[in-house]
Amino acid sequence: MKTLKQILLETAGELKFSGILKLNPDTNTLVSLKKLTEDLPPDANPLPEETIHVTLVHQNCLKQYRKEVENMDLNDIPPPKVVITDKIYKIEREKRISWVSILANQEEMQAYVDQFMQIIGAPPHPEDRVYHITLANSTGNPKDSVGNVKKSDIVGSNLVSNVLQDSENVV
């Protein structure tokens, strides 16, 4: 019989540290994201599937805690499930353009990040971050995406589409 921790790890996606703390979505969520990209405008270039992730904490907030993060078992606190919405937003900032899906479970993600930061001895709520997944940008190169999406980006941004219906990963 599987433990609750094992079940959560199977459905939440994969947590990784590569300077940033990121959450890679599970397979079902990737399928839903693929459906979202089908409705993007022609000037949107989808990012490669292997680069799709949610940035939970940016590297600037983790620099001084790098050793603590590298020495911990990231599976000790299973992350929340990535819950996408059917809305695609076009974000434009500093000559960069990205198309993003905002996560439906913002508060749950923030609570997880706050717990993680407390465990490594850092202050909670390190950034004013809107948790999202970048689906595409103007070049298709992940390094060309708008970084650190904020609430002000969403308020002033363009809602491009509401495309998904009746999907278990979409709210």
Q: Delimit the domains of the chain by residue range.
A: 4-162
Average pLDDT rounded to a whole number, residues 113-127: 89
Separation of alpha carbons 81 and 78, rounded Å = 9
Tokens 């960069």 belong to 96
Average pLDDT rounded to a whole number, residues 135-154: 92
76: left (phi over 0), alpha (psi -120 to 50) or beta: alpha
Average pLDDT rounded to a whole number, residues 94-104: 94
> What is the band of 161 on the pLDDT scale with cuts at 50, 70, 90?
low
pLDDT of residue 164: 40
Q: What pTM, to 2 d.p., does this model score?
A: 0.84
Cβ neighbourhood burial of 114 (10 Å; 0-12, 13-18, 19+): middle
As a whole number, the mean pLDDT across the chain is 85
Three-class SS state of 104: coil
Separation of alpha carbons 67 and 70, rounded Å = 5
pLDDT of residue 2: 40
* Statement: residue 7 has pLDDT above 50: no
Average pLDDT rounded to a whole number, residues 76-91: 91
* Statement: residue 33 has pLDDT above 80: yes
Q: For residue 110, give Cα distances in angstroms to 28, 107, 130, 134.
A: 22, 5, 9, 18
pLDDT of residue 140: 97
pLDDT of residue 157: 59
Decide the pairing of beta strands 54-57 and 132-137.
unpaired
Average pLDDT rounded to a whole number, residues 2-24: 69
